[in-house]
Amino acid sequence: MHRCCSSELKRRPKSGYRSPEKAVALKYTASAALDLSDPSYIAARNEALASTKAAVMALFAKYQLDAIVYPTSPRPALYIKPDGLPAPTDSPTNLANESGFPDLIVPAGMTWSGLPVTISFFGQAFSEGQLLGYGYDFEQATKARVLPKHTPALASDVLGMAAARTTP
C-alpha cells in the first residue's frame, strides 16, 4: 500500500487534488487502515458484509419499506479545522457503507449558525432511481438547498461582459 502525505498530494498537479482538508483525512485513513491480508479485515469482508446485507433486506421486507429516511448526522455540521484529524463519525450512513446499499444525501436546510443540514434516503440494492426520485421530490417540496453564507462565489460561476463577448 502506498502512503503519502498532504504535501505530496498538493505537489501532484495531474491529480487535480486541491483540498488540504481531504488530504488530512486520507493521511489519517492510510495510517489507521488494516492491511488487506489482515485476518480481521478478511473476516469482516467475508462474513460481516453478508450478515449486514441480510439484516437490512429483512428489515425492508418485514416492514414493506421502499426507503428509510433519516437525518444524515445526529448533530449539526462542525466547522472545518484543516490542521486536525477528522472527527470520528457516528452517522447512520455507516449502514450504507457496511451493506453496500445506496444512500442518497440531500440538502435539508441550514442551522441557525449557517452550517448545512442534510437528510438521507437509504434503499435496497439497485433502488438508486427510486431514491433519486425521492430526493428530487424532497428538494422541490422544501426548497431547502441554499448557498451557505460563508461560501464565496467561484470565479468560474461569474460570467463577465468581456468573457460574454468573446464566447461563441
Q: Report DSSP state, residue 75.
A: S
Task: Give the residue, 60 or 1, on which the prediction is more confident.
Answer: 60
Lowest mean pLDDT of 26-35, 51-60, 113-122, name the range.
Answer: 26-35
Q: What is the pLDDT of residue 81?
A: 65
* Side-by-side strand order, sheet with 103-110: 68-71, 116-122, 103-110
Instruction: Say if residue 147's pLDDT is above 90.
Output: no
Q: What is the pLDDT of residue 123?
A: 97
Q: What is the pLDDT of residue 85?
A: 59
The predicted-structure confidence for 39-91, as pLDDT tens digits, reads as follows 988 988 888 889 999 999 999 999 999 999 999 988 777 766 666 655 556 67
Instruction: Say if residue 2's pLDDT is above 50.
Output: no
Q: What is the pLDDT of residue 1?
A: 39
Give the DSSP per-residue string, 76-135: PPPPP-TTSPPPP---TTHHHHHH---EEEEEEEE-TTS-EEEEEEE--TT-HHHHHHHH
pLDDT, average across residues 106-125: 90
The answer, as to whether pTM is greater than 0.75, is no
pLDDT, average across residues 86-101: 78
Residue 67 CA to residue 103 CA, distance in Å, equals 9
CA triplet 103, 60, 137: central angle to 5 degrees? 45
What b/e readout covers 13-32, taking b as 16+ CB neighbours within 10 angstroms? Answer: eeeebeeeeebbebbeeeee
Q: What is the pLDDT of residue 88?
A: 57
Task: Give the residue, 13 or 106, on which the prediction is more confident.
Answer: 106
Instruction: Say if residue 164's pLDDT is above 90.
Output: no
Cβ atoms of 119 and 73 within 8 Å: the answer is no
Element housing 68 (H / E)? strand 68-71
Q: How many CB atoms lie within 10 A of CB 163?
A: 9
